[in-house]
Structure 1
Amino acid sequence: MRFLGQLLAVVAAWAIGGTLATAVADQWTLQLVLGLAAAALALGTYAWVVRRTERRSPVDLPLTGAIRPLVRGTAGGMLLFVAVIGIIAALGAYRVEGWGSVTTALALLGLAAAASATEEVVFRGVLLRHLESRTGTWGALAVTSVLFGAVHLTNPAATAWGATAITIEAGLMLGAAYVATRSLWLPIGLHMGWNFAAAGIFGTEVSGNDTATGLLDGVTSGPTLLSGGAFGPEASIVAVTAGLVLTIVLMRVAHRRGHIVPLPRRADRRTADRVTTDQAAPTTLSS
Structure 2
Amino acid sequence: MTTTPANPQPNLALRILRSPPARVLLLGFILVLFMTLNTDVMTSYAGEPVKAVRHIIALAIAGFAVYVGYGYFIEKRTLTELALPGMGRQFGVGLLIGAGLYAACEMILMALGIYRIVGLNPWSYMVPAIAMALSSSVYEELLFRGVLFGAVEQWFGSWAALVVSSLVFGLTHLINPQGTIEGALFIAVEAGTLLAAAYMLTRRLWVSIGFHMAWNYTQSAIFSGVVSGNDAQQGLIRSTVNGPNWLTGGNFGLESSVLALLLCTSTGIVMLLMAVKRGKIVPPIWKRQDRPVNQ
What's the counterpart of residue 82 of structure 2? 61
**Deviations for 1:12-37, whole angstroms, at most 9, x for unmatched residues?**
22222332233211112112222322
Q: Distance in 1 between matches of 2:159 and 2:112?
A: 35
CA contact (8 A) 1:14 1:42 kept: no
What's the counterpart of residue 6 of structure 1? 27
Partner of residue 66 from structure 2, selected from 45, 48, 51: 45
Partner of residue 235 from structure 1, selected from 256, 269, 272: 256
User: Are the structure 2 counterparts of residues 99 and 46 from structure 1 closer, same or farther at C-alpha, using a change threshold of 3 Å?
Assistant: same
Q: List structure 1 runs of 4+ shifted beyond 4 angstroms.
A: none
After TM superposition, the structure 1 = structure 2 runs for residues 129-278 of structure 1, keeping only pairs within 5 Å, are 129-265=150-286, 268=287, 271=290, 275-276=292-293
Partner of residue 81 from structure 1, selected from 71, 91, 102: 102
User: Counterpart of 2:141 in structure 1: which amino acid?
Assistant: E
**Deviations for 1:196-242, whole angstroms, at most 9, x for unmatched residues?**
11111111111010131111123322110011001111111000001
1:132 Cα deviation after fit: 0.8
* TM-score, reference length from structure 1: 0.90
Where structure 2 has 5 or more consecutive residues not aligned to the other structure, the ranges are 1-16
**Deviations for 1:49-97, whole angstroms, at most 9, x for unmatched residues?**
1112211231100123321211221122101111111112212221222
CA contact (8 A) 1:133 1:269 kept: no
Q: Secondary structure at the match of 1:60?
A: helix
User: Are the structure 2 counterparts of residues 36 and 221 from structure 1 closer, same or farther at C-alpha, using a change threshold of 3 Å?
Assistant: farther
Where structure 1 has 5 or more consecutive residues not aligned to the other structure, the ranges are 281-287
CA contact (8 A) 1:74 1:193 kept: yes
Partner of residue 31 from structure 1, selected from 52, 57, 71: 52
Q: Distance in 2 between matches of 1:57 and 1:104?
A: 41
1:133 Cα deviation after fit: 2.1
What's the counterpart of residue 111 of structure 2? 90
User: Counterpart of 1:275 in structure 2: which amino acid?
Assistant: P
* % same residue: 35
CA contact (8 A) 2:193 2:269 kept: no
119-128 vs 46-55, which moves further: 46-55
* TM-score, reference length from structure 2: 0.88
- Aligned CA RMSD, in angstroms, stands at 1.7
User: Are the structure 2 counterparts of residues 158 and 238 from structure 1 closer, same or farther at C-alpha, using a change threshold of 3 Å?
Assistant: same
Q: Distance in 1 between matches of 2:42 and 2:266?
A: 32
User: Are the structure 2 counterparts of residues 133 and 56 from structure 1 closer, same or farther at C-alpha, using a change threshold of 3 Å?
Assistant: closer
37-46 vs 242-251, which moves further: 37-46
User: Counterpart of 1:36 in structure 2: which amino acid?
Assistant: I
User: Are the structure 2 counterparts of residues 9 and 269 from structure 1 closer, same or farther at C-alpha, using a change threshold of 3 Å?
Assistant: farther
Q: Secondary structure at the match of 1:219?
A: strand
CA contact (8 A) 1:6 1:50 kept: no
User: Counterpart of 1:12 in structure 2: which amino acid?
Assistant: L
Q: Distance in 2 between matches of 1:68 and 1:22?
A: 33
CA contact (8 A) 1:18 1:38 kept: no
CA contact (8 A) 1:97 1:217 kept: yes
User: Counterpart of 1:258 in structure 2: which amino acid?
Assistant: G
Q: Secondary structure at the match of 1:213?
A: coil
CA contact (8 A) 1:204 1:218 kept: no
Q: Secondary structure at the match of 2:116?
A: strand
User: Are the structure 2 counterparts of residues 117 and 67 from structure 1 closer, same or farther at C-alpha, using a change threshold of 3 Å?
Assistant: same
Q: Secondary structure at the match of 2:228?
A: coil
Q: Distance in 2 between matches of 1:90 and 1:246?
A: 22
